[in-house]
Structure 1
Amino acid sequence: MTDKEIFLAHLDSITGNLEPDIRMVQSEDAQLPDVAVLTYENWPKPGFITAFTYGLSLADHPNWKRGRCELMISMESLMHAWPFAIGALVSRLRGRCPFSYGNTIKYGRSISEESEMDAFLVFAPPHLDRDQKTVRMNDYDCFIAGVYPLYGSELDLYEQIQLEAFWHHPGWDPLNPQREVMRMVQ
């Protein structure tokens, strides 16, 4: 099997063989192929949109010592802007950003018309258990990282309190596109 076939088979096992909507995002690097965004509506439950990239792991990054990475997003929404955004991130930043847990990324504009969120936090993927987060490809391990939308104004709060406190902040509802902006708790 090719790496792409291995990755798709892994997603089949996770989603129960659901058929994804596959859309391509044009590569911003002429040396790399376009990025596939595999989107699942109403998974893992009704009212959610969940997507995975395939194309980030085709690049290399000097920080990747134990394997390579692909991205996952899941939102309580059915708007395809959320999946498209992670495909755009990969196209724009692969090879330059390690997409390591704790990384924050400014998107540059609102991710979706249903929210003013315009940044991302990279952390453990939602809905996946330990075994589902890693895909053994032919020559490397591929780790699935979760990306969580943020309001740009929350980046300062994140820098002040760091990942663990941010993740456990009382206002943090990472899959809700309608959540309120988080502020420092007094």
Structure 2
Amino acid sequence: MDSRAEKYLAHVDRLSGGAEAQFYSQESASPALPGVTTLVYEGLSEGTLNAFTYGVSLAEHPAWQESTRELHISVRSDDVVWAEALSFIADGMRGTCTFAYGDTIDLGERVTPESEMTAFCVFAPALPDPAGCSGLDVSVAGHEGHDLIDIVGLYPLHDIEMRYLHEHGLEALWRRDWDPCDVRRRPAV
């Protein structure tokens, strides 16, 4: 029987079209939890870096009644620091952040030198089939009930966009004319 991690990895491999991943490990800041593994896929589409975490779903959060979360990022960049930021956020905020659509994460400093962006918002993952990222059953033999994971997307934001989202909501920001995967873009507001 496949382990929980193997089932998740198999699903992420399908989402990536069978591309080969590079694995990065983030040591856990919590002695109660194992580290976070980030699977990085470069070039799924021209000039795009995609990364998925595994380890957020090992934490508990009171808001996660039906399913837990894992994170995804898709950016037009070849800088692996974006994936490292995803790992950092996953480890540092698991169990405290709901990672619900519209949540924001403010790092307070630029993620990479190539971009002015300092924050992220959570929304549906930037994948061809975002519906295939909800309710992934990673249950193993002996587990009572279902062990479900939802993969959510993190999108880099400028500070002014994060403030706009807080004032006007996620839908208002998403309706703006902007490319959420472009890390070099000007602010949408």
* Alignment TM class, shorter chain as reference: over 0.9
The answer for the alignment partner of 1:3 in structure 2 is 4
Letter in 1 for 2:7: I
Query: In 1, distance between residues paired with 2:43 and 2:148?
Result: 28
**Residue deviations 1:24-43 (CA, integer Å, cap 9, x gap):** 01111111011001000001
SS in 1 for 2:98: coil
Match of 1:92 in 2: 92
Task: State the one-letter code of the partner of 1:38.
Answer: L
Measured in 1, the distance between the counterparts of 2:20 and 2:122 equals: 26
SS at match of 1:57: helix
Partner of 1:107: 107
One-letter amino acid of the counterpart of residue 173, structure 1: D
Compared CA separation, residues 72 and 130, structure 1 to 2 (3 A)? closer
Measured on the aligned residues, the alpha-carbon RMSD in Å equals: 1.1
SS in 2 for 1:142: strand
1:178 lines up with 2:184 in the alignment = yes
Q: 1:69 to 1:128 in 2, by over 3 A?
A: farther
SS in 1 for 2:155: strand
Secondary structure of residue in 2 paired with 1:153: helix
TM-score, normalised with respect to structure 2? 0.92
Find the aligned partners of 2:67 and 2:128 in 1 and give their Cα distance: 18
Who is 2:166 aligned against?
159
Unaligned runs of 5+ in 1: none
Q: Which secondary structure does the structure 1 equivalent of 2:69 belong to?
A: strand
Give secondary structure in 1 for the equivalent of 2:159: coil
Most deviating of 30-39 and 149-158? 149-158
Pair 1:12-2:18 in alignment: no
Deviation at 1:156, TM superposition (A): 1.8
- Cα shift at 1:131: 4.2
Unaligned runs of 5+ in 2: 140-145
**Percentage of matched positions with identical amino acids:** 37
Structure 2 contact 50–73 (Cα < 8 Å) conserved? yes
- Where in structure 2 are the equivalents of 1:40-79 lying within 5 Å? 40-43=41-44, 45-79=45-79
Distance 2:179 2:128 in 1: 17
The amino acid of 2:137's aligned partner reads: R
